[in-house]
Amino acid sequence: MKIIKKHSTLVTFIAILILFIVLSSMFTFKNTRLLLSDAQSINENWTYVETGIVFDLPHDFDLDKNEVQNISITLPNDFNKQQNILIRGSLQDVIVSLDGNVIYTYDLRSENKSIPYASLWHVVEIPENSQGLELMITLHSPFESMSGLTNEVFYGSVNDLNVYVLQNFGGRLLIGLIALFMGVLFSLLSLFVDKIKNNDVVYIGLFGIAVSFWMIVESRTTQFFIDSQYIHGATAYIMLAIMPIPMGAYVKRHVLKGYNKLYFFITLYFIIQFMAIILLQALGWVAFFESVVVTQISIAITILMTIILLVIEIKRYPERKAAKRFLFYFGVLAAIILLEIIAFSSKHFDIISIYVQWIALLFIIMLLVRYIFVLNANMKFRLRNEVLEELVYIDRLTTGKNRHAFEKDLDHLFSIDNMRNKLRIFYFDFDDLKRINDEFGHLEGDQLLKDGYLIINTIFGKHGTCYRIGGDEFSCILNHPSDELYRKMVKQFTEALKVYNSQRTSSVGISYGTAIYDKKLDLKPSDLIKRADQAMYLAKKNLPSRNQTKK
């Protein structure tokens, strides 16, 4: 009950959502779903021209690479009007002939070998009155895995075919876009939100961006908004090679810190491999599709090695939660790679996209949950730091800054040339505090210190920062005011002290000394402090003038 009470808003939301789903399923009237596509399949009774074998699509003939495949069919009566056919070429050249006349050609055999092959949709217009004519499709691939592979063929209007593609593959595109949005969002937010600790969100975000680009290209919908052979043919392979780079950086910095050098070289290897596959494709020596096997094996070996090291790390240091959590994440990544390798080696390329779609959704959820945990942890860390900073750098009596803050700020200003050259510091000391404590009590003495700090900070704090550095001693760091401003502040301070004493039964004196930075005398901050302190004690000896300047 306590858990339900604690998360009452979430429980209420889930209950409302469940109620809505139940009511939606109970109260239905007829089937009102819109049918957006009239695309028809033409997958039965195709003929393999070379052998005369009749088969249905999809089909995979066991052909060698570069072996040409010709398949044909007699067009049905629906082709008495103008139609368009939709062909999916899997890293293949596609040539379409109607009754012996070539009507469409997509052939890279005579082109520069640096142009990567891509799996593309081909929309071919079939003129009216084509019923009864022979449609022949010629397929060719320079890759043995794709040679002989024949996908389904559909026909209809261009709009029907476009809607068919979106209906069947648009969901994968949507998931890819969501992953891209979240990856970019997390990467940017990590730069502004998570400043306190080095965090892994930026690396997971970059990894998510790489995965999202891979998914978007694998969604088979990029032809709707991109007309680039290179993007269609290269992006998936390049992103696959990039993915281990941010993940390797994350592991090196946040999970297996004891294996820093190892993961440095692993990350370097994947960077070199990434550049190598691009160069080999550009030179026409090794195609992306051929080098992807090396990429997959490299990733699989790295994941296996990382899992082994994580298990060793967890056994050695069972208290390290980051390693346990990351082992779970890596298990999901290992599942993705294993499924891809199995599907790739068995030539079930459609399975890759199906599994990636669902596992990518899981990855997005993991990314979101991980970010929430990191953000929550960092918020707690900030609050704790603010409390500690208040304890370390704030004087509890006056609520002003204390000696630790004074030393830290002065060291910082001293390290910057243009700031150091403008430094002036004041040192203040209460002359009669012991007498007041003895005669009127420590409560009165504490009130005197608070009032004195208020006077000092009101006048000198406008031009710098004031501190209680211990007991009845105070100091101010100023940005070297002009002599005129200096005299004005001293006059205001003297007058304010007179007004304060006029309201008391016994007067209090505050001696002060000041020193201006001198590059010959002040080689370190303590030199400047010492000179201001000496000026202040000299003022005490020369009462009632009470002020001295060291230049």
pLDDT at 24: 58
List per-block mean pLDDT (blocks of 10 residues) for the chain, which spans 551 residues.
Answer: 54 67 56 59 92 91 90 94 93 94 90 87 94 94 90 92 89 84 78 55 82 87 89 91 88 82 92 94 92 88 88 81 73 69 61 58 66 70 72 85 91 86 90 82 87 92 91 89 85 91 80 90 90 88 54 48
pTM comes to 0.65
Break the chain into its structural domains and give their ranges.
40-156, 166-383, 403-550
What is the CATH number assigned to the segment(s) 40-156?
A: 2.60.120.260
Nearest to 329 by CA among 365, 378, 382, 372: 365
Beta bridge partners of 47: 54, 72
| H/E segment holding residue 273 | helix 260-283
- With CA atoms as reference, report the closest residue to 135 among 57, 199, 206: 57
Is 456:476 a contact under the CB 8 Å cutoff?
yes
Structure tokens at 279: 């160069």
Give the pLDDT score at 548.
45
* Core vs surface per residue 124-155: b (16+ CB within 10 A) or e: bebeeebeebebbbbbbbbbebbbbbbbebbb
307, 356, 359 from 216: Cα distances, Å: 28, 11, 14
Q: What is the pLDDT of residue 276?
A: 95
Question: Measured over all CA atoms, what is the biggest interatomic distance in the chain, rounded to whole angstroms?
Answer: 120
Query: What pLDDT, on a 0 to 100 scale, did the predictor assign at position 226?
Result: 87
Pairing mode, strands 547-550 and 510-516: parallel
pLDDT in the model for residue 545: 43
Which CATH fold topology does 403-550 show? Alpha-Beta Plaits (3.30.70)
CA distance 539 to 486: 17
Tell me phi and psi for residue 510, to 5 degrees: -125, 115
- CB-based contacts of 500: which residues, under 8 Å, 6+ apart? 451, 455, 508
What is the pLDDT, as a whole number, of residue 550?
Answer: 47
- Residue 27: what pLDDT? 52
Residue 150: name the closest of 41, 71, 265, 37 by CA.
71
In the prediction, which pLDDT does 29 show? Answer: 45
> Is there a cis peptide before residue 58, judged by omega within 30 degrees of 0?
yes
Q: How many residues does the chain have?
A: 551
- Residues 65 and 287: beta-carbon distance below 8 Å: no
